[in-house]
A and B are shown apart, each in its own frame.
Chain A
Amino acid sequence: MASCLESIKVESVTKRFGPNQVLDGITFDASAGESYCLWGPNGSGKSTLLKIIAGLLRPSKGKISYCASGKTGAPLTFRNNIGMSAPDIMMYEDLSLAENLDFLAKARALPRDARFEDELMDKFSLSGVKGRQLGACSSGMKRKFHLVCALAHKPSALLLDEPTSYMDDAGRAGAEEIVSSLKKDVILIVATNDHAEKAWCEAAIELRIKSAGGNR
């Protein structure tokens, strides 16, 4: 791990897509060791908020700041501290699982912990298919592998969007086991509709669908 994140500050984040207001003044503060669940019906902006927290979307108004050892900055300046898994964030399907992991490790140029990677792969019983192209894997295996990719560089902020969707029971159990073992050191934010995933987190942030017509 580079330098550990101490906190993520979300300050009155608003997001609108054209005329549609999706998020309206979300504010919270997450410190290392805390875990939050973004909870709400479809269309309430859970995934959008998670993407904004990761720095993949720009909020219409408001600000996200990460804080690590006295330095604060925009999310992507701390990209090596972020581990994110979401249904629409893919890995390279024409590369094998091992090649994908290689790419991530080299592109980040962080010290690599091969034992930890193997452990993760074992936990999801993916070690046997390491050489297979990702495109040839089932949806469940892909989701498991995405989670492995999110965790492989030992991030100190875990942003997970429906992390166990498509997974079998063994996968869910493995995911829960890993996440709960990491939880005390990291900032965990999970966007989900799944009660089991919600149970990973200590606190929930409820999001509601905004009424149409903006905020006037």
Chain B
Amino acid sequence: MNYVSKVLAVIDKDVRSEYRSKYALNSALLFCVTSLVVVSFSLGGSVTDPRLQAALLWIILFFSSMMSLPRAFVKEQDCGTMNTLRLTCEPSQVFIGKMIINLLLLSVVTAIVSPLFFILFNISPPHPGFFIITAASAAVGLSAVCTLLSAIVAQARARGTLFPVLAFPVLMPVFMVAVEATGKSLLPQSPWANSQLLVFLACYAVVGIVGGSLLFEFVFNE
């Protein structure tokens, strides 16, 4: 219980300061909405292949997370509070806290952007449950890996470009499987025959969390 409340302290602090500035959420949402509008303007109703639609949705979500997730630690570094965290918190406490913050951010963005996407592309998802599980388990893996990478990038230069470069190859498996599973969920026939895709995403999430928290200590402590 003690540990849980220590993690909650980190989350609480970040939620408060994000609530005041709304910087990360606003920039991610603005990016998503802009790119969504650009994509639907340029393609209109011509994209009817579910797999292509799924790919477009995930490209938008992926790049918006490339913009908003690195902020978790870049902000701490830039505001000079990284050392405060080091002096106050255990590494795993910080990792779990920041991961949950990133997960919340990603969930809010996905929950707003996907319905918009479905409306603009005139899709009524036949299997919303499958899609939601796909998005949720992909988001967990994504936020675990991005949290670790955010801590890496915070200590480097040229973070804005470095982050997607580092993230893309590592997140590739999640990305491909998420596109595949989302594509299946947009087809009329039942996608549950492909539930091994969900198992895959869940495994990736578990490895991401365990590996991330193991490696985080080396990034966080000098």
Residues of chain A having any CB pair with chain B under 8 Å = 51, 54-58, 76, 79, 82, 84, 86, 88-95, 99, 103-104, 106-109, 133, 149
Contacts and interface: CB of A to CB of B under 8 A. Distances in A.
Q: Looking at chain B's contact residues, is the secondary structure mostly helix, strand, loop, or mixed?
A: helix
Contact of A106 (B5, B17, B79, B221): B5
Contacts, number: 74
A192 to B, nearest CB: 19
Given A57-B222, A76-B221, A109-B2, A92 B13 contact: yes
B84 interface: yes
B116 interface: no
A133 B90 CA distance: 26
A82 B222 CA distance: 17
Given A79-B87, A90-B79, A107 B21 contact: no
Nearest to A106: B9
- Size bracket of the B interface: 20 to 34
B88 A104 contact: yes
A90 B9 contact: no
Contacts of B161: none
A95 B87 contact: no
B67 interface: no
A51 B82 CA distance: 13
Contacts of B2: 109
Nearest to B19: A94
B221 A88 contact: no
